[in-house]
Structure 1
């Protein structure tokens, strides 16, 4: 028995380490299996979170690029809907777009300039931008562009500040940009370039890309590629600094904060480092699998996330990689379980070792209870893990809804009010209603009394039918302000399929609606006056003609042009000119009926469409009312102005049966009104068309006359009535046309005034007259004073005195030998400006005279302030001094007045001995006219002076 006890004791002692070892091994195996399962769950959670973050960045990048590129489509509509776009319109239109998209480097308008037109284009641009040249980049600096068959020039540029290097840049030398522009012109859609070095910016900010949209010639067919290429005249473009655009797109949503994934963006379909647009962190690379013990404790890094998309038909690539330096947070739960399992197995082994000495029954009972406890713990851990996952998912959804920038509403499905049960913070911010004020209320509170909208009926039907719905409706905030609500609703069903709630998402699209309305206004209304523009005019006139053709009613088309409007712009500036146009527009609208159309065609030109004027007398009455309204005084910037207008009228159907013909004939009649002295209206006649064609030919030839040296000066002697000797002459310009011969001044001087060519022609006259006077002095003919007329456009030049001084200095003529003649009406247009300008001229030492005196209603109070030396009596008074006592009295009064003011008097148009005797007897100082000599070329004038012909030799003088 003792032996048996020893044997049992030996067996018991031997079984102790085996039991403990088995318990420890079992615990370790269970801990390792549980660790592996939890580690797998952690890895999947990390993978899901990484892909969500990467997808969010891909969506935000694509949305941000599309939104920025769409601004180009808005700008392009400005050129599509307007025949001409001024630089001011371009600046005003792009200002809100630049404010809305600060990542935009610049907006451009590329103008196509043929090589042969380059010089003319640069000359025209230099009037506005002195020193302007078409340039290209050489070593990063702008230099004059090389000669090319075609230049694609950056003509309009906003903002100009910071982008000066790009203004005037010829991008026609950059083949990659030309290919993109050609692609856009061929397809009619926007196209994006590859990355390239911009002309503006510094460092990484210079790497950018450009998106272009074509502009075609108005009315040209665009039915195929060849037609679009033929009609292509330029394009609008938006330029981005790639890094700035992408960085602002991500930074705006906090997607570049520390610890966020690494990002690489390529402007190509592949990871081409030459087209790298943006990078945060390290270069993307496939994750290498970790080895050793770390692979069991730290989840393997995720493979990079790639996303391909297009920007204006060009492929782009986004690669998002896990941040290599970012620690893995929240991924150590499995390690804690493993450590706990190891500790638990060791404790279990110790516990078994302590109890193994008990009877087999107790040991078996303990083992069974231990197994039950392990199973219960396993089930408990699984239940806790499942509950944590569910809570995490619910918390994530709640955070997403709370953080959403768009308003989210959840309503009950209980009719009839469907009360609101939840709104997120975006709803509170959008509507002004707090949670307490809106919960339990119906969504009808947002519509107020505006409940007759079609969209509301759609939502009612969708609610009853328990289906999704979408509509744009007018909603109202708590303070009563209206906003446009883009609203989506969808039913929410429970596990059994029953609809228990409705979820709604609403978007405030008020700004979008405002932009649409602004584009509509810009498409059909003049931006300065608010009148109909050319597009709306064509539509209104077409409708009026269609109605007139059906009911046999006449339609009157009136072309109005303000007389001497440029004088206002030149003296007071463009803002004053705009104010005058606004006042004229209001007067025109008041003077016609509501059914009539008043449109601004261009600058100071207006078109009136007057339908259903049954007869000519009615139309004349309307025109007289319009002329009287325009002629009333204007107060602008404290100055009082009087403005007149010239008008031409054409009537349907006698003067044309379509809109273009009627507008053309009204324009011809308007020019006829200007030729007949302005401030009147003319009816169109077929003879005017021939005059218009002749005028058009003369205008084209007049532009080449200076270049081809076709002008010459004739000189009319001025004779001293006391001595009878020639003391001076008046220089008069003549045009020797190669086809028409000598063109009378009356045929081309007015045309030169209208086109602005009078300024270079007048400058040539002054220079040529001074040179001739100096030559005659050097030839021994004495100090003959030469008189030159100044036009209104010359007189308002800021550098007038400087240019005359330069001409005198170049030819060496003494200033007192030059006389500047100014018409009385020119001086009285703006007396204060005239006095200042004349004082500058008088300071040079030149003589000043008032031409055509007696026709301009001058005030004596102004006359005594003018620094003048002589008055020239208009020939209309001299002509009838022998037969008209009134004219004789006027001439005698002018002579007496001038002598009282210590001024000389010169009489123009003296043609008879009777006129000469009257002037001599009343003390007139000098005369000029056909009685002594008509205007003659320089050679004949030398003969007159050289032969010492005197007025005393004439019969009447003796």
Structure 2
């Protein structure tokens, strides 16, 4: 090798090495950067697509909620709803809803009722009305004989009324399937997609139906639902209008396709966001074609069916690796390019962070009213409290609760209740001003953080203005509604332990306002504050007692008045505090309800009652039934059924040995979900009793909704039944009502022989109270149950006023 050759190699080798190294670094940088771009772009695209899908789901659900007020209107009307009433009410629901083509009432007509039904319709002015079906050639003709029909009777359809009225949906085709699904499942059911004869543009649509059952009759099982079905309310929707309206204003770098759930891989979409000339095929319009391209997909629930939504990026919306290719081609220094790119990537990441921050801020506001939510209010309160500790202006917390809002909701309906809450929020904002934080804490509870409460009378003036402005007349959906509110106020003072103390004080002041008659303002004072602290301490000690076995159960016998035979026991919780001594349940039960420990307390009581029942059974002591009280909070927990079943299995107790006692208020306030829980517990074999009967709601409708085994007449009525004529009349009426319902009746709080004789003469078979026995411990129960009788015959026969205590024989 010549010297020249060696020189060339010596100088070119580093250049080649740098070239190779630069190429290698460029390739490595291209690989890293392109992968980062792919992941970032895919994550951003998937997030946006899922947000659009969530918006579409919410919009579809909002459309479907229109059916429930329509069903409620029909169910709440004692007599048959007229066509004018139906159309008027439906048109209010259809206001500004172009996607809903029509709402209809579809009654159930049995074959033997057909002629009368058709004649009645013609007499009401529906010329030529007949129950008709669509034949194979598609013209309408009279429906052939069948066991039952479901014709369109009332409808908001305006263009093709003559063709729609009388159309039988139970024709064995695709229209009948949703009727059967809705009927058997007591739910909304949707039809398959079909071509509509009305509407505009692409006329692909579907309809949904919601079943209506006979008033007062059960529909818990499929058999009961088929037997007691009255008909359906139907809504007809145009798909492209519904989706386009829901997604109007949402900007997204994607094209969206919606497919029917039953669609095969070769089916075309039922909706697409692409704008195309009529009849022009889509570039990727079949379901299977999306598998080869980057896309996002998810499901949209349509009543009992589903749609499949696919999002495909628009041309140029996904980054095309331009920076990575520049890096590879130019062979720039990997470090500089990576740093430059990472700077740009950091900018892009910051934009994503800002977008996520905006979403997070939306999570801090109440979606209905736009006010701050509970979390935001707590954060602002904590910050303001810390500033006040450092010398800032004192502040105040105003806790606001609407009076009788539940009654308003039940009367006017939830949509009207939402409108009312929005109006209340607007008035609170107007009165509080921009300097103060106004929040909706949940339900009908609001709070105001008054940041500058140093001026004399400023807080009281604001609170009084709130009460006054909420007393003004409000017009909602054509109804006049007068509302009022109770306000509890707590001011900041030095020495407070934390912001939670202010919330607790304002909450307690609010309850004082309600106890004082509502529609007023109450301020927290030190005396009440000491009581509140005592309640907090007592609540903590109660939690410790539940965990450490500091509670005990006593049992009060339930006795046959005539024979003295013990027919059952009621479990009563007792707390013997190591320092305070015996604490009355009237004191610690409200504390448990307020602090939330009532759930653990109720769970312990039920489990302990089952355990003791097992002990008695193992000892050969036969206890007919043990009654256990359930609180309203327990009944609203979905875990209640699981807790009860778990205790019954753990101690091997037959469900029929346990009786659950619920007050009238609990049964009246039970939602559909909670009713299902109570019904399932009853189906397990547990007995159900109404406690304190006669002191709760005046409506007796719940007696038809729940299979009650026993009615327990409240001791407030029993106490006066021998001294006040009205109380005696109410007690007799309750006993007669129980007899008519074939339900057992028991009198609570019997304290003397005169009351026992009155109840016996009125037809009451069973009673409990101090006259028979005080609550006793488990050992004394065993002795009583072995004796089996607490004999009342001598005392019942004694003259009035002889008094005395029954003896165990």
Return the TM-score normalized by structure 1. 0.42
- When Rg is computed on C-alpha atoms for both structures, the one with the higher figure is 1
Q: Which has the higher contact order (CA 8 A, sep 6+)?
A: 2
